[in-house]
Structure 1
């Protein structure tokens, strides 16, 4: 009897755990299916219930009349369990100029980025690492002995002038300025060193996504992180350049491909400034010239307008922007990572033959659906080069107007 009772208790525990897991998974599914915030064109407000319709959810039939423009709608599971409040923002229909042109990117960091620390062979023949456990990879040196540091060249000149005395540096770490003390080590050649590896700029190629009516652009759809630290780069300035595609390293399952491009860093080839390197892309002011960049005026689709089905990708893989057939296979209206809001699969055999599908350098390629700008490609799946993630167009448009001067 005791054994049977223990067995029944164990079965009940397993059943309870299964129900808890199912409940959590169901809640997560609903949370991603129903957005926390939604922009609705004024002429579509009457269709709001259709946009948010779900058999397990009910919505309140009254809202606040505070007159702030936006409003919230309460949402319950099966009319009983409080679920979330959805902010509804009545918005005007927007149009932008979508691109798909390949561009060169050059950015200078805000301070000098520390990549890592290293050992120094001292004049006594002993290996020392003076910066270990003092500075951290991802720190930005912003001052050296009370003097502001702007570039690696300035830092190198200051280090050359060391005489063995302790140095005071200020680093930017997690948005806080931290004072640190380092003791230089004299190496076998008689020069004083601090044992740090640093970088103050980065460059590469990507895809211009759009230019809005105010001349502000968005590109890439994701931020640029340092290749060594993996952290989003804090930038002081940067420029967008015209670029040329020289070749394509085709992608394959397990091996993401890459566009090989040529960037000439000449002043007459600058097409824009880089003001912001954020989680959802790089942004700044577009300066042209217009005859060197593909731009097509197109209305923007809000995220709830996207649907599972055919779409197109605009990209430049052979010297000119072309539209290639694709399919949106999954949409996540409330993903915690906004760079991965939908999944797109390349179906165009011509693009697959040229690139293998999605490759590095195509980040920012506009996604078009129902003749509207729906979003941009951001990532390629390592194990399936024909598929990748995308970001909603409205997310990029929101970011293009933030923190710019």
Structure 2
């Protein structure tokens, strides 16, 4: 009987401690997500903050340019606060600094990057744009079999090339287009060939034997692509003509990899129709892109996880309407009412949305916000967020706070957004 009771007590003790550890870990996780990894403060200004922590916390500044203050309002390099007690940060000269957080003054919790900046402005756009990207090298999207002139099937590129590789040269001769590669291979006279490829940022040489096909031409047995195009939305244009669009990067449709680009261009686009979104089936904007010198609207210089960036030209500036607005700093973006600006209906209009969540510590910056479309007119027209609206600017309290990036497949009225500050960092 005693043994049974002893065993029961041990099991209960284990359950208690496991529950306590899990509970502590969950609370720690929630606290970590609610405290931003990075904040921005205007140069020579003071701003007030409050972090929803359950424990007494010590904050310390590692620079004289960032001074801390609490109820005493006396600037210091270290202060102690309890729970959600407000405190202030004064920022001096522009730059990036660090504030350290310690729980109970002992346990290292988090480092916060403090960016001291100027007030930034940009014109929110929301206009559809045609996007053309030229890849930096010829992208391999897969390998396949080749039927030789003897009728035997082989796969010469298997195990040598893989999806996401970029072919830069054939037998030492630089390549810039897939047509150049095809010509080099078709004119091959047999034997082993050498390809210069870039794989995950590393350049290497790969040897393989092109196969003479049943049509008499040599083939590598690889599917390749050297460009990509589509329709997206311009988020903003700043006073210097720099633009940001999409709020997420452009990935290859076959490999899923972010396209490494050599250059790119913006072109005039026109929306021709809308396929409404519904649960389990994202909607889609369909349209046409007008290519040609007169339709070029700017140059794309980078394709990143947080959007595409570059400069618009004079033609785009002539058609640009609207006044510059202030860019909201990350800590200013709050759950609550907001609007998105889009020309999906043929005219530029603001539609009501609700920012439901702001995760300052999100792993993917293009999924920092969760928003829900609440405007009856937009819901009736598109069903919510559809493919092609990526990059649509989000405004709150008259400031540009971010851009729409993704739709929830099972609920097209909801989607993700990126903070404007995280897009503007590429303009630095």
Matched, 1:76 2:77: no
2:166–2:198 CA contact under 8 A, matched in 1: yes
TM-score normalized by the length of structure 2: 0.89
**1:140–1:57 Cα change, 3 Å:** farther
Alignment of 1:21-100 (within 5 A): 21-42=22-43, 45-47=46-48, 50-52=49-51, 54-56=53-55, 58-60=57-59, 63-65=62-64, 69-100=95-126
- Bigger relative CO (Cα 8 Å, ≥ 6 apart): 1
Matched, 1:351 2:352: no
**1:215–1:180 Cα change, 3 Å:** same
* Alpha-carbon distance, 1:190 to partner: 2.0
- RMSD, aligned α-carbons: 1.8
Partner of 1:17: 18
| Residues matched between the structures, number | 399
Unmatched 5+ stretches in structure 2: 66-92
Partner of 1:360: 387
Alignment of 1:251-290 (within 5 A): 251-289=277-315, 290=317
Alignment of 1:243-392 (within 5 A): 243-289=269-315, 290-392=317-419
Given candidates 115, 123, 143, the residue that maps to 1:117 is 143
**1:69–1:217 Cα change, 3 Å:** closer
- Structure 1 distance, partners of 2:21, 2:178, is 54
* Alpha-carbon distance, 1:315 to partner: 1.2
- Structure 1 distance, partners of 2:47, 2:367, is 29
- Other structure's SS at 2:22 match: helix
- Other structure's SS at 1:275 match: strand
- Other structure's SS at 2:111 match: strand
* Alpha-carbon distance, 1:52 to partner: 3.6
* Alpha-carbon distance, 1:79 to partner: 4.3
- Structure 1 distance, partners of 2:96, 2:324, is 28
- Structure 2 distance, partners of 1:96, 1:60, is 34
- Structure 1 distance, partners of 2:392, 2:108, is 39
Partner of 2:68: none
Once the two structures are superposed, residues 290-339 of structure 1 have per-residue CA deviations (whole angstroms, 9 ceiling, x without a partner) of: 34344431111011101111000011212222110000000111111100
Partner of 2:79: none
**1:175–1:70 Cα change, 3 Å:** closer
1:98–1:298 CA contact under 8 A, matched in 2: yes
1:57–1:75 CA contact under 8 A, matched in 2: no
**1:6–1:126 Cα change, 3 Å:** farther
Partner of 1:183: 209
* Alpha-carbon distance, 1:85 to partner: 2.1
* Alpha-carbon distance, 1:81 to partner: 2.4
